[in-house]
Amino acid sequence: MPTWRSERLTECQSVAHTMSQTNAGVDASTDSILLGDMSFPHDKSSSEQDIPSCKDDLSPPICPNPSLSGEECQESSNCLDVCSLASVQQYPQNDQSGTEARSQVTECGESVNLEPEGPEEPEQLIDRTDKSWGGWSLWGKSLLTSATSTVGQSLSSVREKAGVALRIQQSSLCDEAEGTCAEGSGAEEYTPLSTTASQPSRGVLSTITSAVQNTGKSVISGGLDALEFIGKKTMTVLAESDPGFKKTKTLMQKTVSLSQVLKEAKERERERLSSQLISEPTAHYSILFDDYQGLSHLEALEILSNESEAKVQIVLSSLAEEELDKLKNELITLKEIFIRGEEEEGSTIEENGDHSSEVYSATQFSNGEEFVSVLTELLFDLHVAATPDKLNKAWVKAHEWVKEVEQPVPTDAAQEDTEEETGVKPSPMAESEKKQESDQGEEKNQEKRNIKEGGSDCVEYVYLSSVESLAEVTARSIEQLHKVAELILHGQDLEKAANLQASILVRLTFAMCKEVDCLARKFSDTLLSVGFQRKAEELNPLVDSVMLEGSNSNTYIQNAFQLLLPVLQISHIQTSRAKGHAHPHLVSTD
């Protein structure tokens, strides 16, 4: 998220960053712009990087989203006009949901589940969630639309600039929508009650997805100038209607099941791959992320989060007023820790004053080993028996290959050695994982060898390794958060107060994100240094792509982190109930 990284944005980063903002701001009006027959070696990876920006539009989870925040909703009525204007043509049904949204706007308080009105029937809750989802998709559209009108213009100038022939393809929208619906079956699994109400959102999904993909292509093809231009425009537009990008951020984070979006992106990528032969090096972040079981862990974490949220609802609805107020305050305290962690980008964490803040500051160093020890200590502090073996291994691996590439004369033999070395770290815990990976890795190694043999420079190798490492590290980070959730829920007494656990998790997540950032920068530096003889037009898209994947990785990790909130909440409720409603632990320490 913007604030998380903003202080350290380098030139490359800001390009990548603005690009992702661009994609968030593209809507129906641009999605019909399809690039002609122009092809670009890596355009695919750029289009798939756009995933996080469209994660606001899949079917809603069955239980109410924990954190629709009120301020975001307040402006939605302002946007409705723009939105309905923009969407009448292609999304007539949005008008309908627009009225729904209008009536729902006032209901979006600080938190859906912690509303002061008190308990509600579960059916009502589900019903209301559906409606507000309609509102959300509409609202999201409106923000995006206002950004789009400007970006659309920018795009047309890009078209001229780049001299690319573009054709308008109205039908692509329909195709996309069909495709999405077919793929939506996965989403249905967990949202059997929301089919009707969620349709508008799904429409938006396909729109944004295709918009984002197509725009991604155009943008990359248009070159860096265009990219920067659009990025600035989009930032400006978004900033005008959304100071601090608060809403954009929330929109991107809260309103969809991330695993579904990623799944969809992966399936698209897979379909594309299965219908063509791979003749040149391409990196498939979404497929690699799935290969490392990142999607599965994310999906499982979403299940736990949704079920915990439902349980919290049930408890809340069973309480009398006095107790309810008390519990609500406690749950809100927890939530504030999560939100603060997200917003303050961890810079003022020392306020908590316990020793883990020292640990935390150690994450400033981008060094695999130091990160590993930070990680281990934070997990130890959590008092859950989670070990970061796999994540550590991924980190070490990432640093190893960079080191290896940076060695003056990288030979095939050296490369093999290093792979061997990192590959066979004898950890019984990781053994099975290792073997699983080695199969998947074999093909890629083959690919890498081919590159080595085929061309003397290793720009492609570095690029592929960068994307793979980011995918692996992200998958492992999410797996780690999933394991933490499982251990918190596993039924034993909470050993550490929920709010302390929350603070530690904030730090843990921040450490992960920061390291992902460092890795992405390290990778792009390596790319730049290996590719110094390459033309900028060749090299820059690769660098951008790596930075963008880094930024996306960050977003996924933070999304996974947010899923932990209901888990901690229900864990807190169960612990305090076991102690006779004493709630002794939830006294704020800061």
Partner 1 sequence: MTTAPYNYSYIFKYIIIGDMGVGKSCLLHQFTEKKFMADCPHTIGVEFGTRIMEVSGQKVKLQIWDTAGQERFRAVTRSYYRGAAGALMVYDITRRSTYNHLSSWLTDARNLTNPNTVIILIGNKADLEAQRDVTYEEAKQFAEENGLLFLEASAKTGENVEDAFLEAAKKIYQNIQDGSLDLNAAESGVQHKPSAPQGGRLGNDAPSQKEGCSC
| Whole-number Å distance between alpha carbons of 124 and 146 | 33
Please, are residues 64 and 128 in contact by the beta-carbon 8 Å criterion?
yes
Write each residue from 402 to 441 as x if it is in contact with partner 1 (CB under 8 A), else as -, in one continuous string. --------------------------xx-xx--xx--xx-
Stretch that binds partner 1, among 156-164, 293-301, 363-371, 411-419 (CB under 8 A): 293-301
Q: What residues between 174 and 193 interact with partner 1 by CB under 8 A?
A: 174-175, 177-179, 181-186, 188-192
Is 34 near partner 1 (CB under 8 A)?
no
* Helix axes 459-489 and 564-578, enclosed angle (nearest 10): 20
Nearer residue to partner 1 within complex by CB, 432 or 456: 432
Cβ proximity to partner 1, 490 vs 581, nearer residue: 490
CB of 336 to partner 1, least distance (A): 26
93 belongs to the binding site for partner 1 (CB under 8 A) = yes
- Among 561, 551, 552, 559, which residue's Cα sits nearest to residue 508? 561
Q: Tell me the C-alpha distance between 365 and 353, whole Å.
A: 21
Residue 217 touching partner 1 (CB under 8 A): no
**Residue 168 β-bridge partners:** 33
Residue closer to partner 1 by CB (options 31, 242) is 31
Determine, following the binding rule CB under 8 A, whether residue 310 of this chain makes contact with partner 1.
no
Which residues are CB-neighbours of 105 under 8 A, at least 6 positions away? 73, 74, 76, 77, 135
- Return the closest-CA partner of residue 50 out of 269, 244, 243: 269
- Rounded Cα distance between 481 and 334, Å, is 17
Query: Does 61 help bind partner 1 (rule: CB under 8 A)?
Result: no
Smallest gap from Cβ 417 to partner 1, in A, equals 24
* Contact call for residue 303 and partner 1 (CB under 8 A): yes
* Nearer to partner 1 among residue 71 and residue 271 (C-beta): 271
- CB of residue 177 vs partner 1: minimum separation in angstroms? 4
Q: How far is CA 22 from CA 40, 470, 537, 540, in A?
A: 20, 22, 20, 18
Instruction: Determine the Cα–Cα distance for residues 567 and 311; give it in Å rounded to an integer.
Output: 10
Tokens 């299965």 map to which residue?
Answer: 274
Q: Is 35 in the site for partner 1 (CB under 8 A)?
A: no
Task: Tell which residue, 554, 539, 551, has the closest CA to residue 22.
Answer: 551
Q: Of residues 240-279, which lie at the interface with partner 1 (CB under 8 A)?
A: 267, 269-271, 273-278
- Rounded to a whole number of angstroms, the minimum distance from the CB of residue 432 to partner 1 is 5
Take residue 47 and report the two structure tokens written for it. 């289009």
293 sits near partner 1 (criterion: CB under 8 A): yes
Query: Of the two residues 122 and 186, which places its CB atom closer to partner 1 in the complex?
Result: 186
Contacts of 505 (CB under 8 A, 6+ apart): 341, 382, 481, 484, 561, 564, 568
Binding flag, residue 91, partner 1 (CB under 8 A): yes
**Shortest distance, position 57 Cβ to partner 1, whole Å:** 11
Min dist CB 178 to partner 1, Å, is 4
* Residue 491 binds to partner 1 (criterion: CB under 8 A): yes
Q: Provide the token pair at 489.
A: 């829920």
Q: What is residue 291's three-state secondary structure?
A: helix
CB of 171 to partner 1, least distance (A): 9
Q: How far is the CB of 47 from partner 1 (least distance, A)?
A: 15
Q: Which of residues 471-490 bind partner 1 (CB under 8 A)?
A: 482-483, 486-487, 489-490
Tokens found for residue 397: 């691996």
* Strands 33-35, 166-168: pairing kind: antiparallel
Q: Which of 228, 354, 370, 447 binds partner 1 (CB under 8 A)?
A: 447
Residue 107 or 267 with smaller CB distance to partner 1: 267
Burial class (CB in 10 A: 0-12, 13-18, 19+), 353: exposed
Binding site for partner 1 (CB under 8 A): 90-91, 93, 173-175, 177-179, 181-186, 188-192, 195, 199-200, 202-203, 206, 267, 269-271, 273-278, 287, 293, 296-297, 300, 303-304, 307, 385-386, 428-429, 431-432, 435-436, 439-440, 443, 447, 482-483, 486-487, 489-492
